Chain A
């Protein structure tokens, strides 16, 4: 079966750095997406990785290792507004998105 694993919840301090991990087992691989979802709102696109390595976009970076079936989202200089759920999604061989359950990130002052 297809499976995406990410921690249910994480807590971090304002101004700090946090890494949210995602491991996956899917039927084929056509890229991995990270989305941010604030409570009661729809997800918004953060990043896309299809090749191994690190993609940096401002305070957010995303890393992929296809051989390990592993990705992480790195958030730097955390702000209170970063409190949200972060969803990992993998596109399988049929170009269907397989979604993780999301990681709820709580930022404390």
Chain B
């Protein structure tokens, strides 16, 4: 159990376009999902906490108008990178817990975004 599916696995887009990344919990319901970004050889950085039915909570320094998060159901959260620039090129990973704060995070396979 505890499978988190993320799509697409990789995407290449042109500067100025928008990209949507989907994160699904396949065998459990997730009221909260987490979006991370990881640059090469660096640690995971939490971007935002996605809450089902309400607005996402963004970490300091993350532009909420640029990284749009929608958590429309208990099994789906989406991250849209709007007006992408080359510096947005990174590895984006979503995660979720089965239940309870003490449960481990289970990660999607990640999306490698390259903006040209």
List A residues at the B interface (Cβ < 8 Å). 30-31, 33, 40-45, 48, 50, 87, 91, 95-97, 99-102
Contacts and interface: CB of A to CB of B under 8 A. Distances in A.
B102 A42 contact: no
Interface stretch (B40-48, B68-76, B79-87): B40-48
Interface of B: 6, 42-46, 91, 93, 101-102, 104-110, 112
Contacts, number: 41
Contacts of B108: 42
A5 to B, nearest CB: 12
B101 A95 contact: yes
B103 to A, nearest CB: 9
A42 B112 contact: no
Contacts of B44: 43, 87, 99
| 3 shortest interchain CB distances as A-B pairs | A42-B107, A95-B101, A42-B110
B106 A100 contact: no
Given A100-B43, A101-B42, A102-B43, A40 B112 contact: yes
A45 B105 contact: yes
A83 to B, nearest CB: 15
A87 B107 CA distance: 13
22 contacts: A30-B102, A31-B102, A33-B104, A41-B109, A41-B110, A42-B6, A42-B93, A42-B109, A43-B44, A43-B93, A43-B107, A48-B102, A87-B43, A87-B44, A91-B101, A91-B102, A95-B101, A99-B43, A99-B44, A100-B43, A101-B43, A102-B43
A91 B45 CA distance: 14
Given A99-B46, A100-B43, A102-B43, 8 more contacts: A30-B102, A40-B91, A40-B112, A48-B102, A48-B104, A99-B44, A99-B45, A101-B43
